Amino acid sequence: MERTAYRGVSYGEAQRVVLNQKYERNELREFNNRVAARSLFGQGIYLINDPALAAQYAFCHAEVEGDESAVVLSQKICFQNPFILNYQFSEARLRKEALRWKYAGKHFPDPTDDQSPLELFKQIGNTIKEFLLSRSNDGIIYHIDDEIIYYVLYDQEKQIKDIKVELVFKIQDSHPGKRINELHL
């Protein structure tokens, strides 16, 4: 199953990603407006089907990195055995099943006083990833609604190809939209 997906990044990161055809970082990140991108489903590459929404992520990443420009990258992605999240099988249900699988017959560890909420999210996300990989799922296709789909890929070397620039814009511009076909590498 092959699809086109998008990811928003800073200009500097886009240069390296397009050159190497590989992402350097996972999704966990704190933004300037105190919003955080959390890896709810464990370490992996998080993408989306909507380039306009990817542009909003690109803006946030460029702002955090002090970059003047932001980039939306497109790529071809493929899954062999994706886990499907939607209105029939929710994120909460997946989280419960993963925690039951991991801690069957054991006590779920209590959060320690020095464990931040972000560390707890990370721990639960890694448990979800372990659970899915144990079932031979290679990622997640998450239907947020009828239009927005998130993708989580656990093996980018096998699942992502043809990373290229879809859109570049200055973050000071209120309306991103300058299309180009290449980055200055």
Alpha-carbon distance of 53 to 68, in angstroms, equals: 19
Helix count (H) and strand count (E) of the chain? 5, 9
Decide if 17 contacts 163 (C-beta within 8 A): yes
- The number of C-alpha atoms within 13 Å of 150 and in the hemisphere containing its C-beta is 18
Alpha helices in the chain (DSSP H): 11-20, 51-65, 91-102, 117-134, 156-159
Q: What is the pTM of this model?
A: 0.84
d(CA 102, CA 104): 6
pLDDT digit string (tens) for the chain, length 185 residues: 899 999 999 999 999 999 999 998 765 545 445 544 557 899 999 999 999 999 999 998 899 889 999 999 999 999 999 999 999 999 999 999 999 999 988 877 666 666 777 788 888 999 999 999 999 999 999 999 999 999 999 999 999 999 999 999 999 864 545 554 455 54
The secondary structure element, H or E, covering residue 165 is strand 160-170
Domains and CATH numbers, the chain: 2-170 (3.90.175)
Residue 14's Cβ-count burial label (10 Å; 0-12, 13-18, 19+) is buried
